[in-house]
Amino acid sequence: MTLQHVVVGVDGTLAAVRALDRAADEAARRDAELRVVYAVPDRDEAAPILASAVARVHTRRPGLRVTTEDVQGSAVRALTDASEGAALTVVGTRGFGGVTGTLFGSVSLRLAAQAHGPLMVVRGDHVVDHAAEPFDAGRHVLLGLQGDGDADVAAYAFEEAERRGVWLHVLHSWNHRHVAPELPSLLPATSPGQQRLAQHDRAEEAVPRFSLARLQERHPRVGVDARTVRGGPAHALLEATADASVVVIGAHRRTGRVGPHLGTVAHTLLHHSHCPVVLVPTDA
């Protein structure tokens, strides 16, 4: 059986150290190998950074299998290539567009739009939690659910909650679309416009229930709290990250002139989330 592995990019910055610590914890949770990747213009610069990374991991996680790789070239290309086949790829960023050496904010955004598998983005100010810490109901896994197309995203979130032994909080946020021009409050409850709104409300609120039912059967030990809120998903999710251990969202990639890019929700969370963000590639 092929050993699972977690990939992490390092560059000697504080954000990368946070990412390294988190990646070591994630590898330990999965009983996986940790692969430390450093992309530099000159490979002679890599040895001290990689040696320091290995020493730190062994101090925090004795017995964890660790390998290193120095790659000549860009961090985005190196980590995109390394992400293929990885259970998880972890990268650090300061967020808010701040530069932190090789792995700065725009790099994490570009990597999020290209990584082959789940990508965790950790800001330099995110506190690292330890896999051995006792259960804390406040440190749940948060899932941002867009719809039935996020099946792989939801599956990953369930697995993450099960690995951590915590609750899964699901937030499904939506806005009214194609609403009649009259103010809803002025329309009779039996008007066609109000009836359409009520039908749309019921359909949207049913999304989490139908999307998660089969996964709940598959993961009976995971407690689930699902709710639907009206309003912009980016704002609602951002507020909900304040007491979450990690937030899981879909990487809904769009192709433009400059290649694949992400939507508003991913941009907002990658720059401002209060906890690490995991982006799971989707077919959308």
- For residue 104, the model assigns a pLDDT of 43
What is the number of other CB atoms lying within 10 angstroms of the CB of residue 88?
25
Instruction: Using the predicted structure, report yes or no on whether residue 85 has a pLDDT greater than 80.
Output: yes
Give, as one character, the DSSP assignment of residue 136.
Answer: -
With tokens 């099946």, the residue in question is 151
Give the number of other CB atoms < 10 A from CB of residue 177.
6
Mean pLDDT to the nearest integer, 12-37: 94
* In the predicted structure, residue 20 carries a pLDDT above the cut 70: yes
Distance from C-alpha of 154 to C-alpha of 250, rounded to nearest angstrom: 9
Q: How far apart are CA 97 and CA 109, in angstroms?
A: 10
Query: What digits encode the pLDDT tens for the residues 147-168?
Result: 767 889 999 999 999 999 999 9
Q: What is the pLDDT of residues 215-253, one digit of tens each?
A: 999 999 999 999 888 777 888 899 999 999 999 999 876
SS3 142: strand
Geometric angle at alpha carbon 125, from 122 and 131, rounded to 5°: 60
Instruction: Identify the H or E element spanning 250.
Output: strand 244-251
Q: What is the pTM of this model?
A: 0.82
Q: What is the pLDDT of residues 184-224, one digit of tens each?
A: 554 555 666 555 544 545 545 555 556 688 899 999 999 99
For the ranges 15-19, 27-31, 35-39, 85-89, which has the lowest average pLDDT? Answer: 15-19
Quote the mean pLDDT of the chain: 80
- Domains for the chain: give ranges and CATH numbers: 5-123 (3.40.50.620), 140-281 (3.40.50.620)
Q: Cα Rg for the chain, rounded, in angstroms?
A: 20
**What pLDDT is attached to residue 182?**
43
Q: Rounded CA gap, 144 and 273, in Å?
A: 13
Q: How far apart are the first and last CA of the chain?
A: 31
